[in-house]
Amino acid sequence: MSNKSWLFTSESVSEGHPDKVSDRISDEVVDAYFAADPNSKVACETLTTTNFICIAGEVRGPSSVIKEVEGLARNAVKDIGYEQDGFHWKNAEVIVKLHEQSADIAVGVDEGGTDQDEGAGDQGIMFGYACNETEELMPAPIVFSHRILQLMAQARHAGNEPGFGPDSKSQVTLRYENGKPVAVDTVVVSTQHTEDMSQDAVRERVKPYIQKGLPDGWNCPEERILVNPTGRFVIGGPDSDCGLTGRKIIVDTYGGAAPHGGGAFSGKDPSKVDRSAAYISRYLAKNVVAAGLADKCLIQLAYAIGVAEPVAVYVDTYGTGKVADDEISKKLRELVKLTPRGIRNHLQLDRPIYARTAAYGHFGRTAEADGGFSWEKTDIADELARAFGGRATRAA
């Protein structure tokens, strides 16, 4: 890897992207069930298109929540900012097709599964990743891609950018040398806008957010800033493209810098290891890097449906580890119980904390006082470091 230079690209999409509208609605349903009963089970999918929203899936929880779902969907769309002829929070048709969870699934998930503990809701592999490229311990391209769109959305919600629409995408290409990001090569931003804005006007309004989203002193060459490269982008959101829950899994995670097991997160309660095991994998990887045990770390967990303990735990520090990967793996399993219940208890996941994850990434966020993004804590970093004779490089 030494003396090697390459380009790497990650993309993000805004909360108004059709798939993200669907993710948000599905996670609002998860939150509603958890607010009513922390023992609820939810697997919710949403489809959005021109003035139409369909919410379907399997649930187990208070029957009263079903009556709230249409209102939750409308309020989410309103909060995102859609009041357009082709997609309006008040005028869209909303169909709710949620039904009781399959008894065959329930028998494996409930306590009393094959190893007398709450079993995994499905088989699968989940990955977590962390690296020291950014303060967030995330790959730099995805962090910058998210940040640009977040800044634009904040300005739009504050009323400072009335010409911007809710739907937008970004893409950041960085140049790496000797394994470290050193410069910006290209930035692409496409944003929905009002009819009266020209392409030049959109470009001038977007450029400051690109600059604010990049580190101080990092400037993208003017000719490599591509804003609305196809030109007009007035019709956007679900009116322009059908949205579905779970189609932006690389945006949700590491921007392609690390493997993905394939399972989406939004719309699923934490008994689904697609979500909870991906969260704990990120937590473990982040704490390994925060402890100074490696410059980057990949964790893979594998589960079988109805079985509580993971069938495999894999750690890869890409040759940057200060101690052997198998020793790190052994210590992690001592510190955190990796059953679905153990994960849920450790990260306190049985709370209505999911709608906020639906846009701008599930990882690299700030842990919040009410338990949101609890998987971003580095509260076992000191113990990890001490176990191997060191001191954590970052505070918990």
Per-residue confidence band for 112, with pLDDT thresholds at 50, 70 and 90: very low
DSSP symbols for 338-394? -SHHHHHHHHT-SSS--GGGSSS-SSS----TTSTTGGG--TTHHHHHHHTT---SS
What are residue 185's phi and psi, to 5 degrees? -100, -50
Residue 233 counted as an annotated binding residue: yes
For the chain, which domains are there?
Answer: 5-13+140-236 (3.30.300.10), 18-108 (3.30.300.10)
Whether 384 and 317 have beta carbons less than 8 Å apart is answered as no
- Ligand-binding site membership of 101 (annotated): yes
Q: What is the pLDDT of residue 114?
A: 47
Three-point CA angle 35, 40, 43, nearest 5°: 110
SS3 call for 325: helix
Average pLDDT over every residue of 98-117? 62
pLDDT digits (tens, 9 = 90+) for 239-295: 999 999 999 999 999 999 999 999 999 999 999 999 999 999 999 999 999 999 999
With cut-offs at 50, 70 and 90, classify the pLDDT of residue 394. Answer: low
Work out the pLDDT band at 106, boundaries 50, 70, 90: low
Report whether 58 belongs to an annotated binding site.
yes
Question: Quick one: average pLDDT of 120-131?
Answer: 93
pLDDT in tens, 156-206: 999 999 999 999 999 999 999 999 999 999 999 999 999 999 999 999 999
pLDDT higher than threshold 60 for residue 111:
no
How far is it, in rounded angstroms, from Cα 187 to Cα 182? 15
On whether 247 is known to bind a ligand per the annotation, the reply is yes
248 marked among binding-site residues:
yes
314-372 pLDDT per residue, tens: 999 999 999 999 999 999 999 999 999 999 999 999 999 999 999 999 999 999 999 99
- 90 in a labelled binding site: no
Average pLDDT, the chain: 94
Average pLDDT of the residues in 290-313? 95
Question: Is 232 labelled as part of a ligand binding site?
Answer: yes
Helix (H) or strand (E) holding 99: strand 93-100
Q: Are 34 and 269 in contact (CB under 8 A)?
A: yes
Q: Is 264 marked within a binding site?
A: yes
First to last CA, the chain: 31
**Beta strands at 296-303 and 5-13: parallel, antiparallel or unpaired:** unpaired
Chain-centre distance of CA 144, in angstroms? 14
Q: What is the pLDDT of residue 109?
A: 58
Count the Cβ atoms, other than its own, within 10 Å of residue 4.
9
> What percent of the chain stands above pLDDT 90?
90
Name the percent of the chain lying above pLDDT 70.
Answer: 94
Q: Scan for tokens 């939810």, then name that residue.
A: 42
- Give the per-residue pLDDT at 120: 87
- Model confidence band, residue 390 (pLDDT cutoffs 50, 70, 90): confident
Is position 268 annotated in a ligand binding site?
A: yes
Is 17 marked as binding a ligand? yes
Q: Is 19 annotated as a binding residue?
A: yes
Q: What is the pLDDT of residues 56-105, one digit of tens each?
A: 999 999 999 999 999 999 999 999 999 999 999 999 999 999 998 765 55
Band (pLDDT 50/70/90 cuts) for residue 121 is: confident
